Amino acid sequence: MTESNFRVNLSQFEGPLDLLLFVVKKNQVDIKNLLVSKIIDQYLKYIEESDIENLSEQGYYLFIAARLINLKARKIYNDNTRVEDDEDEFTEEQFLDMLENYQLIKDSVDYFIGKRPRVYWDHFISGQAQEKVSDLPTQEIVQLMNAVQRIIVKSKKPFNEKVLDKSAVNIKKRINILIDMLKIGEPKWFNDLLSEKLGLIEIIETFLSILELLKRGAVQVIQENPNDDILVKPTKKIKKCTGILNPVL
């Protein structure tokens, strides 16, 4: 299959930042050195040619597309109007920070749970398919990655950490914190499980801890449609997870 007749299946990506990062990697440039207008144009082209007809499935991709169109228009007309305080807009610097944040998250998740096979990444970037090395719940991983992207976009702030200190990641401690927060009959939004400081390590620890609890049947992840935040619902098994000594991730 050549790129000229390649039709995008957005379901193969873990949200709009994943697609944007794919476009950056395909152009073989560093995030800080990319031509923002070119990346925006290619992202919009992929959205236009995507094979998802259901608007609810495309919703967040279109939300980001609208913000990127506004960003490009401001660049073209040299509009320096401040948008930092506008929740639905971002500057070029914030856009690049968002991509760098997502790259850090993606690389960190891949480090801890193994390379996940994704057809379009493998076809265009690595040139070959990767074998699946994890039996983790694929759908839930996608939902969690999508939730993380929403947090990154909403925050619009760069992480203080530019490299993940893997030795500082304490999944056991974070699991016990989540168990204290998750009471039977009282599900929590994923976003509410994070503090206002919103650091890279906290996001990674929370992400991996939820996957650990999922594998043990201690929580369920609920997302009614692709545009929603995810709801983390504890089950009765969560009581047995207190003081987990050896997380399997």
Tokens of 211: 């996957």
Q: What percent of the chain has pLDDT over 70?
A: 76
Higher pLDDT residue, 79 or 199?
Answer: 199
Q: Mind listing the pLDDT tens digit for each residue in 98-149? A: 999 999 998 888 888 875 555 444 444 444 444 443 455 677 888 888 889 9
- Segments making up each domain of the chain, as ranges: 6-155, 166-241
pLDDT at 32: 74
Rg (CA), the chain: 19
Q: Which of 4-18, 144-158, 163-177 is the least confident region?
A: 4-18
Arithmetic mean of pLDDT, 41-70: 80
pLDDT at 232: 94
pLDDT at 124: 43
Beta strands in the chain (DSSP E): 188-189, 219-222, 231-234
pLDDT at 133: 38
pTM of the model: 0.79
Q: What percent of the chain has pLDDT over 90?
A: 18
Helix axes 36-48, 16-26, angle to 10 degrees: 120
Q: Mind listing the pLDDT tens digit for each residue in 197-229? A: 778 899 999 999 998 899 888 999 998 776 678
CATH code of domain 166-241: 1.10.10.580
